[in-house]
């Protein structure tokens, strides 16, 4: 009886506390560089949450270590809903690729919801003597270990898209990791690195301006953003597919009512008709889901990428 009463009081207390949440500024950590999709969409969500909940949601970019630096900051934060993490499939990849991390994703974090997903765009510097994907593959096979590709760090969607491409196309291209996607992008635009997989939401404008040459998109079907660009699967690597998705998590132990409140607000934001229309034009699709469903989604993605990491023998130096 006493135990049941204490449990009832605890639940009521948590619910009352969640109703008052937030009572002050919430920090939203983006463990990637400025200007990438996590930064852009993280700031969008933060702004909308601030409007809806009446207190500041402040974005803090903490890139480094393929998302590990910023993620560890959140893992060590109090589980009170006042420090949140914008995460991506980088995190599910790193569970296998980088097992010796200072945190475990499904142990140290609580799922909130997905945000969106988008195709990647494979681009090369215009100085590379290849006009299409087949020519680029031929060039890479003729010069094994000479060409390179940029990423925003180990385990990021850009890195994994590159490794999957190497594996399926049978080419030897050197991975050049950077601290953030902005630095990787700058390296390709400047010609220091030949190739990159980047979010189509970010790189489409550069391709249209002729600053990079688009060779293919990574979805199952052509992107509505750049329908003139073939998928990598149809352009020369049958069956190839890779995407980038974003989600929101909090430190483990964050009260369930707070998680549910954030889940409801974020899903309301991303499913608004004007948001879906705007994101659709950018190539992003909302992937909001209930808390428990997002948890299952994360576990399934960890397993999916675990198979690729093990099949390729991929390692992080």
pLDDT tens, position by position, 77-93: 999 999 999 999 999 99
Residues facing 51 on adjacent strands: none
pLDDT tens, position by position, 241-279: 999 999 999 999 999 999 999 999 999 999 999 999 999
Q: Residue written as tokens 């950018």?
A: 282
Please report whether residue 263 resides in a domain.
yes
Please report whether residue 47 resides in a domain.
yes
SS3 call for 148: strand
Q: Which residues of the chain have pLDDT under 70?
A: 1-18, 317
The domain of 151 spans 119-235
Residue 131 sits in the same domain as residue 155: yes
Here the CATH number for the domain that contains residue 138 is 3.40.190.10
Please report whether residue 50 resides in a domain.
yes
How many domains, the chain?
2
Here the CATH number for the domain that contains residue 307 is 3.40.190.150
Q: How far is CA 272 from CA 51, 59, 261, 267, 290, in A?
A: 14, 22, 17, 8, 16
pLDDT value at residue 6 = 46
Residue 109 sits in the same domain as residue 27: yes
- Whole-model pTM: value is 0.82
Please report whether residue 6 resides in a domain.
no
pLDDT value at residue 26 = 98
- Whether the CB-CB separation of 261 and 21 falls below 8 Å is answered with yes
């Amino acid at each position: 009886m006493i135990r049941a009463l204490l449990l009832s009081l605890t639940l009521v207390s948590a619910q009352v506390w969640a109703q008052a949440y937030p009572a002050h500024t919430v920090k939203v950590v983006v463990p990637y560089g400025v200007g990438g999709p996590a930064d852009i969409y993280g700031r969008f969500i933060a702004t909308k949450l601030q409007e809806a909940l009446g207190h500041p949601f402040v974005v803090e970019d903490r890139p480094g270590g393929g998302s590990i630096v910023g993620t560890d900051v959140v893992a060590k934060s109090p589980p009170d809903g006042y420090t949140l993490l914008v995460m991506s499939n980088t995190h599910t990849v790193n569970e296998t690729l980088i097992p010796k991390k200072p945190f475990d994703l499904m142990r140290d974090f609580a799922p909130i919801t997905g945000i969106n997903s988008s195709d990647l765009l494979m681009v090369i510097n215009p100085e590379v003597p290849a006009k299409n994907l087949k020519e680029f593959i031929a060039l890479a096979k003729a010069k094994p270990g000479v060409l390179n590709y940029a990423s925003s760090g180990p385990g990021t969607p850009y890195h994994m898209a590159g490794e999957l491409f190497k594996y399926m196309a049978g080419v030897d291209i050197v991975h050049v990791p950077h601290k953030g996607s902005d630095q990787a992008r700058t390296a390709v635009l400047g010609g220091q690195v030949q190739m990159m997989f980047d979010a189509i939401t970010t790189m489409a404008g550069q391709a249209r301006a002729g600053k990079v040459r688009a060779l293919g998109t990574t979805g199952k079907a052509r992107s509505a953003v750049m329908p003139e660009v073939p998928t990598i699967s149809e352009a020369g690597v049958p069956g190839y597919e890779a995407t980038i998705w974003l989600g929101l998590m909090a430190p483990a132990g964050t009260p369930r009512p707070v998680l549910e409140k954030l889940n409801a607000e974020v899903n309301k934001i991303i499913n608004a008709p004007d948001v879906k229309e705007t994101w659709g034009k950018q190539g992003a699709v909302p992937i909001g889901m209930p808390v428990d469903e997002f948890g299952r989604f994360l576990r399934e993605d960890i397993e999916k990428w675990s198979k690729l990491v093990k099949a390729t023998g991929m390692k992080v130096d």
